[in-house]
Chain A
Amino acid sequence: MLSLLFRRILLGLVTVCIVSLIIFAGVEILPGDACTQYLGEYQADDELLTQCRKDLDLNRPAFDRFAEWAGGAVTGNLGLAVDGKTKISTIVGDRLQNSLLLAFCAMSVGVPLALLLGVITGLWRDRLPDLIASTLAIFAMTIPEFVSATLLILVFSIWLGWLPGIVLTSASAPAAEFFPEILLPMIVLSLVMCAHIMRMVRSSVIEVMASDYVQMATLKGVPYWPTVFRHALPSALLPAINVVALTIAWLLGGVVVIEVVFNYPGLGRLMIDSISDRDLPVVQSIALIVASVYVCVNLAADLLTMLANPKLRTMYMRK
């Protein structure tokens, strides 16, 4: 058990290292560097460029710079942005916090709702509750996020005037100040996420409810709801763990459209902005953070699945 844990953590670290190498290499290969970008608008001459490269320490071999960057990243020091003044860890740190806040809010509404709806639609398969929820889920999944976001803004902030339609709080504000501005983006994200998880839970519940052991529990005289809760759901909800994990990772790095529509200062938008500004140190840092989140969340999900599944648990415990 412990050795398995150790192995998985090691594997995760190796993955992050390889990813960081690829990110660094990718940025190196791009034509131009931070100085041509920074000085570009001043029609830089060679002298200025040389001076700049010397200032930014770009003349050292790539491997040295990678080692320094990676070493810094481990201690939380991500270096300076391309303007040479702002610390990346401050910018990215604020944004990461905001993204975490949004992810947390969306999850705390979306996941319980998804599980509940998934179980209900699975149990009442092909009946009215299922038809309604499944149809809505298809809408939530197929309508592009910016459309549903715009619609919600139209209804709730323009027509009804209940909620602010755009986030005006600055990126570095404390979490409490994001309310109630955060509510609309949170609702849009919960909807999409909820639809995906719900459909998965639904099919899993249907499968387990048709299994021999649920039939046996019924024929053993176990009443309906205890059958559902004791015999069916522990198995039916297991696959949800991995889907939830993937959703967490997606919420932290991949919700650019929502962040842009609502002007929410999260990681995704920072990434896009930095790419268009060619602020490569920031891009590197965000890519590294998102990769680490993926690895951590998946590791946690796998361990949780293993603990929750007696078959896997006994297999590893005995070894």
Chain B
Amino acid sequence: MTTQPFISINGLSVGYTSRAGKIIRVLRNVSLEISRGESVGLVGESGSGKSTLALAAMGYFKRGLRPLCGDVHFDSVDILALDRDELQAIRGGQLALIPQNSGQSLTPTMRIGQQLTEALRLHSNLESGQFSDRVVELLTQVRLPDPAKLVSRYPHELSGGQQQRVAIAMALAGEPDALLLDEPTTGLDVTTQAHILELLRDLARDRNMAMLYVSHDLGAISRVCDRVVVMYAGEVVLTGSARQVLLAPRHPYAHGLLNSIPRLDQTRMPIALDGRPPMPGEAITGCAFADRCALADNKCLTEAPEMVGLSTGELVRCFKSDMIDRMPVSSRQPSRLNRSDDKTDDTALGLRDVAISYAKDNWLQTFLSPADGGPPATVDNIRISINKGETLGLVGESGSGKSTILKAIAGLISPKRGHIMLHDQTPLTPRVEDRPAVNLRQIQMIFQNPDDSLNPRHTVAQILAQPLQLYFGLSGDALHQASVSMLERVRLGAHYLDRLPSQLSGGEKQRIAIARAFAAEPEIVLCDEVTSALDVSVQAAVLDLLDELKTQQGTTYIFVSHDLAVVKAISDRVAVLYQGRLCEIGPAEAVYTAPFHPYTDVLLGAVLEPDPDVAPKLIADDVVELSPPARGCPFQRRCSRKLGAICDSEMPPARQLRAGHVINCHIPADEL
């Protein structure tokens, strides 16, 4: 082992000057060391400064930010002292970055081949004649299909997973000694994420690279990293081996963070971490985490803790690290477990053989060949009925049609065939414009990203007033009262009324979106990935809120998410969709335990738990299918347990396993 670490960041503070002329520090006195062949995970909530730190390791600071003190050494070179040309020679060469959102990080006007060739021209010793062979080699190395054809494609023609692989290939072009990864799998499907992480693990091992892996996803971190660094409010609060940090964290924040993650093997709701981290520039007198910490006492509020080494080897910034085991754990049982007896059999909503197609009817084609009926519908044969007060989870990869089904229920897209029945008696009018007001009130939707679904120029009062005025005709004092009581029900105070969405945090915005939906006193609430854009600690609080509102009101939820653990935590029943077809439906516990539909098996196998001892099972490839097959089982092309021709030609039968648990598969029930 060498004495000088490969990457070493020492006492680094990064900040900007505010309009008032104050220096606001985003990173506060951060130190971090990474040796060759080591992969370090950097964890924290959004705003904790983890991406800023990763970019600082490359000597890059976003506009306005600058290093205030401290230094960054890479391979014994003082990065902050280099001039622009020297920096550019190292960036992308010895030290490469894999960005968060490759879809936006690849230049839209350049072909994949051009972008890779550019990296080679800058950072390799190859002759220009060898570039094209090397590009194909790199694309093959990241396991992209048909690399020779891919080079002439533009980024927008690739799927998210493919774009991410191209970004990895580009980072590898300079044969780097160190890789910085900034949330490289956020936004990808579980299966794609699992495959990309395996690829990164292999690459890091084969090339003995140093890796800094920035993520809020502890599951991904546990899969890739040897050591984990936890950041909070611009400071490092805990470092230790992955096993130490993820299994027995010695800092209350890390402890709370781990508890807020929904797990597949748990039946309880995740525990929310209350409060919010201090904003950069906020005055911090004692420990930055003190106001959210259950262990905090006077000392924590007045005196800032230093990093101390523990006998077990971790470094922790906490006075109470020996008391973590005694932290109060208040685990709330989800409502479904203590409410199973009052479940009614009244149907809230029924989908009767619904088919939805995005393809426009081409009259010419219909006229010429009326028999074939055009391409297969995006969503087909959906027959589900949802009871009152029940939560139905819809899971599947992107393209599985789960959001499309929500849109059809909301009336944003008309089904091609079939009906959506309200209360099992009245078919809903397909288009939302034609629906009577009472139906509009009964069905409310909460969207994934509150930044897009809340009007940025409306105050919270105006946002909440809309449903209250529209459906209940409230005005004046009554309107004010109702708005305040809605805010209180989503655990926000009346002082939020005159704020604009931009003055709220992500979690607060989503609460406003929830309050708006519930202000209509709906029977059915459609939740489209409502926690995907939130931090895990905030996600737990939002899930908890949704569950509480349901218990109070007996609301029916249809909950769409790509996160299987989240769906498990909140759902009574779960439906697994692939290519717009139903694979499996049943009570949550039944779907998440064997016997499985082969696709459910693939999905569950790819879920990453924040536990270094749990490895994912990768069964099927993460190929992206763009359209469902014309006939037979939707999963035929990726299924590892395919029986043969029957899967290609015939729709799989619905096999009833236990009460309400149905698997659509040709494999006999006792072999599943």
Contacts and interface: CB of A to CB of B under 8 A. Distances in A.
Which of A211, A214, A218, A309 has most B Cβ within 10 Å? A218
A211, A219, A230: most-surrounded residue (chain B CB, <10 A)? A219
B365 to A, nearest CB: 14
A220 interface: yes
Interface string B148-191: 00000010110000000001001000100000000000000000
Nearest to B87: A221
A168 B200 CA distance: 76
B154 A311 contact: yes
Given A212-B101, A311-B156, A314-B156, A222 B122 contact: yes
Contact of B122 (A210, A213, A220, A234): A220
Interface size class of A (residues with CB under 8 A): 20 to 34
A310 B154 CA distance: 7
A221 B91 contact: yes
B99 to A, nearest CB: 5
Contacts of A221: 88-93, 119, 122-123, 174
Interface in B516-569: none
Given A219-B97, A220-B119, A231 B88 contact: no
Contacts of A37: none
Interface in A85-101: none
B592 to A, nearest CB: 36
Interface in A202-224: 210-224
B118 A230 contact: yes
A169 interface: no
Contacts of B107: 213-214, 216-217, 230-231, 235
A235 B60 contact: no
List the 10 closest pairs (A to B, CB-CB), nearest first. A221-B92, A220-B92, A234-B109, A216-B105, A212-B104, A221-B91, A310-B154, A213-B107, A212-B105, A231-B107
A313 B62 CA distance: 33
A167 to B, nearest CB: 43
B156 A219 contact: no
Interface in B107-145: 107-110, 118-119, 122-123
B206 interface: no
B419 to A, nearest CB: 33
26 contacts: A211-B104, A212-B104, A213-B104, A213-B107, A215-B62, A216-B97, A216-B107, A216-B167, A218-B88, A219-B58, A219-B60, A219-B91, A219-B92, A219-B99, A220-B170, A221-B89, A221-B90, A222-B118, A222-B122, A223-B84, A224-B84, A230-B110, A231-B109, A235-B108, A235-B109, A311-B154
B85 interface: yes
Contacts of A230: 107, 110, 118
B646 to A, nearest CB: 34
Contacts of A214: 107
Contacts of B101: 212
Interface in A106-149: none
A53 B155 CA distance: 67
Contacts of B104: 211-213
B106 interface: yes
Contacts of A222: 88, 92, 118, 122
Interface of A: 210-224, 230-231, 234-235, 309-311, 314
Contacts of A224: 84, 88
Contacts of B93: 221
A223 B88 contact: yes
B63 interface: yes
Contacts of B109: 231, 234-235, 309-310
B62 to A, nearest CB: 8
Contacts of B105: 212-213, 215-216
A218 B62 CA distance: 12
Given A213-B108, A216-B105, A314 B119 contact: no
Given A218-B91, A223-B84, 13 more contacts: A213-B106, A215-B60, A216-B107, A217-B107, A219-B55, A219-B99, A221-B88, A221-B89, A221-B93, A222-B118, A223-B88, A231-B107, A311-B154
Contacts of A216: 97, 99, 105-107, 167
A234 B242 CA distance: 44
Given A217-B107, A311-B108, A210 B60 contact: no
Contacts of B90: 221
Contacts of B89: 221
Nearest to A210: B63
Contacts of B88: 218, 221-224
B363 to A, nearest CB: 15
A215 B104 CA distance: 10
Contacts of B154: 310-311, 314
Nearest to B174: A221
A199 to B, nearest CB: 20
Nearest to B63: A210
A98 B231 CA distance: 69
B96 to A, nearest CB: 8
Nearest to B105: A216
Contact of B99 (A212, A223, A311, A314): A212
A248 to B, nearest CB: 24
A234 B110 CA distance: 9
A314 B123 CA distance: 30
A159 B136 CA distance: 68
A309 B96 CA distance: 29
A234 B107 CA distance: 10
Contacts of A212: 99, 101, 104-105
B157 to A, nearest CB: 6
A60 to B, nearest CB: 42
Nearest to B119: A220
A80 B123 CA distance: 71
Contacts of A211: 104
A168 B284 CA distance: 76
A222 B170 CA distance: 12
A230 B118 CA distance: 10
Interface centre among A213, A221, A222 (most CB of B within 10 A): A221
A314 B157 contact: yes
